[in-house]
């Protein structure tokens, strides 16, 4: 039995024309034929097809009605329209309704083969791009930025204006406030949107390794450099480089970056040839650059070159109205990646989230929600599933910080549920909407004890 690469479904494909499609696709595709509309819709709902071939009905209205239904119900599956006659108006209408291609009799095998290969490849690329957009920490539109407080809305409005200009930008603010998200929005709403957006972290790496990462190196530039390397700035030609934690950049590398900003040129490490490149530089830091300049650790001239368009991003505690919509947005992204049917938060869970100051900002909020999604067995995130954020290393904090507000609330909630259920753990878990496994984890975590629990070691 052949291991076919694609599975296609052909609707209202005339039996007399099957020879052409079989000749074109026999080696690459398994084809399901269907002529009954109800059965066709049922099959679309039961199985994922790589492409749909839709034969033009004698009544065009029915065909395009079917096409609209397909695009509504299975929008990611490409549709090829097949017609016995070529009518320009049909082609225009088909493309307007979302068809990926239009083929006309005689159905030449090569034409069918090319059409299927192209629409499936385009669909795969779109899947990959959508996956990357879901998984990358980038905002592609300013409309996707959660800005509920007036001051933050003003900041986003300023960024819309900054995106239209090509000057360097400097984001300042605490770790986890969303600086890289906003930098991505600037890039993807600028004239450079179709060129690379490359992010580089400038901390926790040696000077030589960082210079090589940024500017590349020639073969033999240092021990172990047996091949030429193209640096990230050169790779980003025409696009934008985002330099995170710019305050940690070594002084010699700062000088090289200053030249890039002034002359748009540099040499690779160990090289003599001057390379010209066109990139926009967006930098970010959570450091006090004025203090670093005073200490001689950061070049003042570089600061002024970077600080053409300054952006101070406020911490999450200064934009409390953003917490609830951010939590819902993060939940949607996380559940989409792990395929869990969790649709929101209970009122009590949301109250816990919105009452906490979040020293680790959006990064910490995302971590707490991700842990809750893993633990939650119901359709809504409950307080019991919200591990206290102190269980996580708060972004920007030194070590683990215990969060008394959430921890105390969670402990009290567990004890109250246990008391109301006569300390029967299974019943208390049901009352809280969590699994017995999670309940047991919580009891151990808070060292909750009761004399009736023989195997509990006590609090």
**Together in a domain, 154 and 40:** no
**Together in a domain, 49 and 192:** no
Record the pTM.
Answer: 0.58
* 457 inside domain: no
* 456 inside domain: no
The whole-angstrom separation of Cα 35 and Cα 153 is 54
User: In this structure, what are the phi and psi dihedrals at residue 176, rounded to the nearest 5 degrees?
Assistant: 85, 10
* 454 inside domain: no
Give the model's pLDDT for residue 360: 87
Last residue of some domain: 119, 135, 151? 135
Q: What is the mean pLDDT of the chain?
A: 82
**Together in a domain, 129 and 168:** no
**Together in a domain, 239 and 166:** yes
Give the model's pLDDT for residue 282: 98
**In the structure, what pLDDT confidence band is assigned to residue 346 with cuts at 50, 70 and 90?**
very high
Higher pLDDT, 90 or 313: 313
* 453 inside domain: no
Last residue of some domain: 314, 343, 370? 314
Number of domains in the chain: 3
**Together in a domain, 148 and 93:** no
Q: Which domain holds residue 418?
A: 318-446
CATH number of the domain that residue 23 is part of = 3.40.50.2300
Residue 311 has pLDDT above 90, yes or no: yes
* 365 inside domain: yes
**In the structure, what pLDDT confidence band is assigned to residue 253 with cuts at 50, 70 and 90?**
very high
* 246 inside domain: yes
Highest mean pLDDT among 18-22, 126-130, 260-264, 356-360 belongs to: 260-264
**Together in a domain, 350 and 424:** yes
Last residue of some domain: 78, 105, 135? 135
**Together in a domain, 197 and 106:** no
Question: Which H, E and C letters describe the chain, residue by residue?
Answer: CCCCCEEEEEECCCHHHHHHHHHHHCCCEEEEEECCHHHHHHHHHHCCCCEEEEECCCCHHHHHHHHHHHHHHCCCCCEEEEECCCCHHHHHHHHHCCCCEEEECCCCHHHHHHHHHHHHHHHHHHHHHHHHHHHCCCCCCHHHCCCCCHHHHHHHHHHHHHHCCCCCEEEECCCCCCHHHHHHHHHHCCCCCCCCEEEEECCCCCHHHHHHHHHEECCCCCCCCCCCEECHHHHCCCCEEEEECHHHCCHHHHHHHHHHHHHCEEECECCCCEEECCCEEEEEECCCHHHHHHCCCCCHHHHHHHCCEEEECCCHHHCHHHHHHHHHHHHHHHHHHHCCCCCEECHHHHHHHHCCCCCCHHHHHHHHHHHHHHHCCCCEECHHHCCCHHHCCCCCCCCCCCCHHHHHHHHHHHHHHHHHCCCCHHHHHHHHCCCHHHHHHHHHHHCCCCCCCCCCCCC
**In the structure, what pLDDT confidence band is assigned to residue 458 with cuts at 50, 70 and 90?**
very low
**Together in a domain, 297 and 403:** no
Give the model's pLDDT for residue 250: 94
**Together in a domain, 343 and 427:** yes
For the residues 360-388, what does the mean pLDDT come to? 84
Q: What is the pLDDT of residues 185-214, one digit of tens each?
A: 999 999 998 888 999 999 878 899 999 999
* 244 inside domain: yes
**In the structure, what pLDDT confidence band is assigned to residue 405 with cuts at 50, 70 and 90?**
very low
CATH number of the domain that residue 271 is part of = 3.40.50.300
Q: What is the pLDDT of residues 8-47, one digit of tens each?
A: 888 877 766 677 777 777 777 888 888 888 888 888 877 7
* 337 inside domain: yes
**Together in a domain, 283 and 382:** no
**Together in a domain, 250 and 181:** yes
**Together in a domain, 310 and 322:** no
């Amino acid at each position: 039995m052949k291991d076919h690469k694609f599975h296609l479904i052909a609707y209202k494909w005339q039996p007399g024309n099957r020879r052409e499609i079989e000749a074109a696709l026999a080696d690459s595709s398994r084809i399901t034929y269907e002529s009954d509309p109800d059965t066709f819709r049922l099959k679309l709902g039961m199985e994922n097809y790589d492409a749909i071939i839709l034969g033009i009905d004698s009544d065009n209205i029915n065909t395009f009605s079917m096409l609209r239904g397909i695009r509504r119900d299975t929008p990611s599956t490409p549709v090829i329209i097949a017609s016995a006659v070529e009518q320009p108006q049909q082609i225009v209408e088909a493309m307007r309704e979302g068809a990926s291609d239009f083929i006309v009799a005689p159905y030449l095998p090569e034409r069918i083969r090319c059409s299927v290969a192209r629409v499936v490849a385009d669909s795969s690329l779109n899947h990959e791009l959508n996956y990357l957009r879901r998984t990358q920490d980038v905002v592609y539109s300013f409309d996707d930025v959660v800005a509920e407080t007036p001051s933050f809305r003003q900041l986003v409005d300023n960024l819309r204006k900054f995106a239209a200009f090509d000057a360097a930008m400097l984001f300042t603010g605490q770790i986890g406030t969303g600086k890289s998200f906003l930098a991505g929005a600037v890039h993807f709403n600028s004239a450079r949107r179709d060129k690379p957006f490359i992010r580089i972290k400038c901390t926790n790496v040696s000077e030589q390794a960082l210079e090589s990462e940024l500017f590349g190196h020639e073969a033999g530039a240092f021990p172990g450099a047996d091949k030429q390397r193209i640096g990230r700035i050169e790779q980003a030609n025409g696009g934008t480089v985002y330099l995170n934690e710019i305050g940690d950049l070594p002084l010699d590398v700062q000088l090289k970056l200053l030249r890039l900003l002034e002359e748009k040129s540099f040499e690779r490490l160990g090289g003599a040839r001057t390379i010209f490149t066109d990139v926009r530089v967006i930098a970010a830091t959570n450091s006090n650059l004025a203090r670093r300049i005073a200490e001689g650790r950061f070049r003042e001239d570089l600061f002024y070159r970077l600080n053409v368009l300054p952006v101070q991003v406020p911490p999450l505690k200064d934009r409390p109205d953003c917490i609830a919509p951010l939590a819902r947005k993060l939940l949607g992204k996380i559940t989409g990646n792990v395929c869990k049917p969790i649709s929101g938060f209970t009122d009590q869970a949301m109250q816990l989230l919105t009452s906490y100051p979040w020293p680790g900002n959006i990064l910490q909020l995302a971590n707490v929600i991700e842990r809750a999604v893993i633990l939650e067995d119901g359709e809504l995130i409950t307080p019991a599933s919200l591990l206290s954020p102190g269980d996580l290393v708060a972004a920007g904090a030194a070590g683990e910080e215990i969060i008394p507000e959430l921890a105390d609330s969670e402990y009290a909630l567990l004890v109250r549920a246990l008391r109301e259920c006569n300390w029967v753990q299974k019943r208390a878990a049901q009352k809280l909407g969590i699994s017995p496994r999670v309940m047991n984890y919580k009891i151990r975590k808070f060292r909750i004890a009761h004399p009736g629990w023989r195997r509990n070691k006590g609090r």
